[in-house]
Structure 1
C-alpha cells in the first residue's frame, strides 16, 4: 500500500507558552490527570473490605463508594465540551484538576460512609471533566502528523492505571491504611496543578452562548442511569428492578437525546460529529474492544485467585504485563503506521486479543503458569495496537472547532464500554471462566471485523489535506 503522507494537520496553533512548549505542558497535565481519574476506578476495590471493617458496613452498602463516583463521572462528561467552549480549556482543565485533588484529600480524611460517598461524588465530577477536556487540548496542541507519536504518552494512563490500581491499592491498605488509597492522588494532583498554572496554554472554544439544559439532563441522566444499571447488574441480576428500571429509563433518555441534540440551536453535544465516516467507523470498533479489554481485566485476577490459588497482591502483579504490552504497542504503532495502515493494525490487534482471550478460556484452570505472563503481555500489545491506531485515525478528519464534541462522544463511549464489559464478565463468571473468556474473545473478534470498515484512504487524505478549523 502507498505510504501515508505526513503533513501538518487541522490543528489550530496553540498559544505561545511562557517557557515550556505547549505540547510538553499539555502532555504533562493530561497524562497526570487522566492517570488519576482512571486509577480511581480500580484502586478503591481492594480497599472495600478495610472500609467495611472501619465503618461497620456490609458489601452492599459499600458499593455506593464506587457507584457514586461512576455516576457523577457519567453526568459531567457531557458538559465538559460546553465548559471548554465557554470558559476555555485551560480554566476548565485546571478547575477540574483542583476539584479532583481537593475531593481526593477529603475522601482520605472522611469519617463516615455517607461523608466518603459524598466526597467520591465530587471526585467523580472532577474526573468527568478531566478526560474530555484533556483530550481536546492534546488534539489541539499536536498537529495531525504528530498525533500518533503522541499516543505513546496518551496510552500511559490507559495501559498502566487499570493494572496498577489493584497492586498499589493492596500495598497501601496492607502497609498503611485505606485512607492512602485516596491520599495518594493529592501530591500528584498538586504537582500537576502547579505545573499547569505555570505552563498550560489556552485553546479558546467557539463559544457557548446558551446552556442546553434539556440536552444536559438527557445526556447526563441517561448515561448515569445506564452506567448505574450496568454496575449493579452482576450483583443484583439483570431481571432485578434495581437494574431493569434504570437501564430502560437510561436507554430511553439517550434515545430521546439524539433527535433533541440534532435539532437544538445550541446543542450540549453536536451529534452531527458522527456523520464523519472515519470518526464513526473507528468508534464502532473501539467500543467492543474497550468492553472486551475491561472484561478480561475483571475476570483475570478472579481466575488467578479462585482457579489457581494466587493471593490478591500477586494476582495484581500477574496482571501487570498487560500494561507493558500496551506501552510496547504504543511505541511500535507509529513505526508501522505508514507502511501497514491503521485498518490492518486495528484488525490485527482485535484478532490478537481474541486469540489470547480464547486461549485463557480453553486452557481454563489447566493453563501452565509460565504462559500467563506472556499471554497478558500479548493481550496488552494487541489491544494497544487497536487503541493507538483507532484513536489516532478517529480524529484525523475532525475539524478543530468540533474537537470538544468528538472527545466528549469518545469519553461517553469509553465509560459505556468499560461498564458494559465488566457487567457482561461479572454476569458470565457464574457460568465458569471458560465461557466468560470465550465470550470476551468473541467480542474482541467483533471489534476486529468492524475495523475492516476503517478507510486507510480517508486517513491518507486527512494527512495530505488539512481539515478546515471550522
Structure 2
C-alpha cells in the first residue's frame, strides 16, 4: 500500500487552497464547456467538410471515448509523478490540441486532434479534484466543493450560448480557439503558484488494469454515445456494448486480485463512498440528459435557434450558483442525507413538469422551472461530492477521485443514451391532419418522464446515506470574510 501523501510548500507564498482553486476552476471550466460548445458547431463543420450529420458526430464521440480511456490512468500518474506535473502537462496538452482543432482543415485532422484533446481532458478533472481535496481539510470540503460550482453549473449552460454566438459571428474554428487564452493564463498561474501533492510510493504500473479499463470504458462509451443514433440492434453497437461489458467484468475480477490496482475497486466497500457514487451516477444521468433534451425541444417544437435555446437553459446555472451558498450553510447543520433526498426529489418533480411544455407555454414560467431545477440540483451536487470523500483515507484520494470521475463520465453518457433512445423509439416527428410533418411532443414527454424516474432513483439511493458517516465533513469552520478563490484574485492583483 502507498504511504501517506506529502505536498511541496506553496510557491511564492500563495495559500495552496487559492492556487489550486483558481487553476482548477479555469481548467474544469474549459473541459466541461468543451463537451457542449462543440454541439452547436457540428452543422457548420459538416457543411465545410462535406460530411453528413451522422458522420460529423465522430468529432464528439472520439473526444468522449478518449476521455473515458484516460480517466482511469490519471490517478496512478498523479501519484507517480506528482499532481502538479501531471496536471500542468495535461493542461498544456489540452490548450495545444484546442488550437490544433481550431486550425484543422479536414475532418480526419479534426477527429485526431479531438481524440488527443480528450486524452488531456481525461486527466485534468481527476488530478485537479485530487489536488483540491488534498489542499482542503475534511471540515472545509464543502467550501472546496463550492469552488467547483462555477464550472460545473455555468459551463454546460454557457457552452451552447457562446458556441452559437461564435459560430454565427465568426466561424466554427473559434469554439476551439476560445480555450487557448484561458488555458495559457491558467498554465502560467499554475507554473508560478501551484503546489505539488504526491504519495511516497505510487506502486507499479498496472498494465492489465489499464488495458481492460481502456477497452471497457472506451467501448462502453462509444456504444452509449452512438447507440440511439445507429440503433441498439446494429452489429457495431452490439459488438462494442457486449465487448465493453465483458472487459469491465474482467476488470473487476483482475483489479480485486491485485495488491496495487490501477482502479482500487475495494473503495466501493465503503458504504458512504458507494452510495454517493451511485447517487451521482443516476442524478448526473437525469440532469445532463435534461441538458441534452431541453434544447432539442426548444428548437424542434418551439422553433428557436441554437443561441436562444441556449439562453433558455441559462437560468439553471443561476439557480445552481445561488443555491450553492445555501447548501454550504445547511450541510454542517442538517447533514447530507436529507439535503440529498429532498434535492433529488425536487429535481424529479421539475423534470416531470417539463413534460407538460408545449408551444403555448409561458416562456418565463419555463425559465422559472429551469431555475428551480438548478437550485435543487445544487443540493445534490454539493453534498454528494463533499460526502463522497469523507471516509476515504488521504493516501487513497487519487484513486477515489479517479473512480468518482469515471462513474460521472458514464453517468452523463448514460443519460444522453437513455433519453436519446426514448426519443428514437417514440419518434420525434409525426404527421398532422393535413399530412404535414410536425414535432411529436409525445416523444419529449416520454423522455422527460424517464429523466424524472432517474432522479427518483437518486432520491431513493440518498436515503441509504448516513449522516454519521460524513461527520468529518460537517464540522463548522469559521467563514472567511472573502472566499478563497476571490481572496486569491485580490492577492494576485496586489503582487502584480
- TM interval, shorter chain, is over 0.9
For residues 311-361 of structure 1, the C-alpha deviation after alignment (integer angstroms, 9 at most, x for no partner) is 211110000011111111211111111222111110011001001001111
Aligned residues of 1:11 and 1:141 also touching (Cα < 8 A) = no
**Which of 211, 233, 243 is the equivalent residue of 1:239?**
233
Q: Could you report, residue by residue, the CA deviation over 1:363-413 in whole angstroms, capped at 9, with x for unpaired residues? A: 445532221111001111111111100100001111110001100001110
Query: What is the rounded CA distance, in whole Å, between the counterparts of 2:416 and 2:162 in structure 1?
Result: 21
User: Which residue is equivalent to 1:323?
Assistant: 317
Q: CA deviation at 1:206?
A: 4.0
Work out whether 1:110 is the aligned partner of 2:104: yes
1:279 matched residue in structure 2: 273
Pair 1:181-2:175 in alignment:
yes
Q: Following the alignment from structure 1 to structure 2, what is the Cα–Cα distance between the partners of residues 124 and 207?
A: 28
TM-fit CA distance, 1:12: 6.3
Partner in structure 2 of residue 71 of structure 1: 65
- The answer for unaligned runs of 5 or more in structure 1 is 1-9, 465-470
Look up the match of 1:60.
Answer: 54
The alignment partner of 2:11 has SS state of coil
Between the aligned partners of 1:29 and 1:124, the Cα distance in structure 2 is: 19
TM superposition shift of 1:238: 1.1
Number of the residue aligned with 1:436: 447
Q: Decide whether the 8 Å contact of 1:330 with 1:384 is kept in 2.
A: yes
Instruction: Give the direction of change, closer, same or farther, for the CA distance of 1:183–1:204 in structure 2 (3 Å limit).
Output: same
Q: Name the counterpart of 2:118.
A: 124
**Mapping 1:7-22, distance limit 5 Å:** 15-22=9-16
4+ runs of 1 displaced by more than 6 Å? 10-14
Compute the displacement of 1:273 (Å): 1.1
Instruction: Give 1:445's aligned residue.
Output: 456
Please give the TM-score of this superposition, normalised by the length of structure 2. 0.89
Q: Retained in 2: the 8 A contact 1:15–1:203?
A: no
Deviation, 1:60, is: 2.2
* 2:33 and 2:156 in contact (8 A); partners too: yes
- Deviation track 1:48-81 (CA, whole Å, cap 9, x = no partner) reads 1111121111122211111111111111000000
Deviations 1:423-443 (A, max 9, x none): 111111242111111111111
1:371 match: secondary structure:
helix
Structure 2 unmatched ranges of 5 or more: 427-442, 476-496
Q: Normalised by the size of structure 1, how large is the TM-score?
A: 0.94
Alpha-carbon deviation of 1:462? 6.0
Taking a change above 3 Å as real, the CA distance of residues 62 and 30 of structure 1, as seen in their structure-2 partners, is: same
Any conservation in 2 of the 1:225–1:250 contact (CA below 8 Å)? yes
**Superposition CA RMSD, Å:** 1.5
| Match of residue 29 from structure 1 | 23
- Partners in 2 of 1:369 and 1:179 — Cα distance? 32
Q: Supply the distance in 2 between the matched residues of 1:56 and 1:330 (Cα, whole angstroms).
A: 44
Return the offset for 1:214.
0.7
Q: Tell me if structure 2 keeps the 8 A contact 1:396–1:463.
A: no
Q: Tell me which residue corresponds to 1:468.
A: none
Structure 2 CA distance, aligned partners of 1:230 and 1:138? 30
May I ask how many residue pairs the two structures share in their alignment? 455
Partner secondary structure for residue 372 of structure 2: helix
Summarize the alignment of residues 137-148 of structure 1 with structure 2, pairs less than 5 Å apart: 137-148=131-142
The match for 1:253 is: 247
Q: 1:301 aligned to 291, 295, 299, which one?
A: 295
Range with bigger deviation, 306-315 or 243-252: 306-315
Q: 2:81 aligns with which of 87, 92, 103?
A: 87
- 2-structure distance, mates of 1:175, 1:231: 29
Q: 2:389 aligns with which of 376, 388, 395?
A: 395
Deviation, 1:208, is 2.8
Contact 1:290 1:417 in 2 (8 A): yes
Alpha-carbon spacing, 1:302–1:309, altered in 2? closer, same or farther (3 Å): same
Higher mean C-alpha displacement, 339-348 vs 182-191? 339-348
Change (3 A) 1:209 1:450: closer
Q: 2:339 aligns with which of 333, 341, 345?
A: 345
- Whether 1:423 and 2:417 are equivalent positions in the alignment is yes
1:191-245 Cα offsets, whole Å, 9 max, x none, are 0000000000000124234211110011111001000000001111111112111
Q: Which moved more, 1:442-451 or 1:14-23?
A: 14-23
Aligned residue in 2 for 1:292: 286
Match of 2:34 in 1: 40
1:281 shift after superposition: 1.0
Q: Structure 1 residues 452 and 326 mapped into 2: Cα distance closer, same or farther (>3 Å)?
A: same
CA distance in structure 1 between the partners assigned to 2:403 and 2:266 by the alignment: 11
The range that moved more, 184-193 or 157-166, is 157-166
Q: Distance in 1 between matches of 2:338 and 2:11?
A: 38
Aligned to 2:197, which of 184, 203, 206?
203
Change (3 A) 1:335 1:212: same
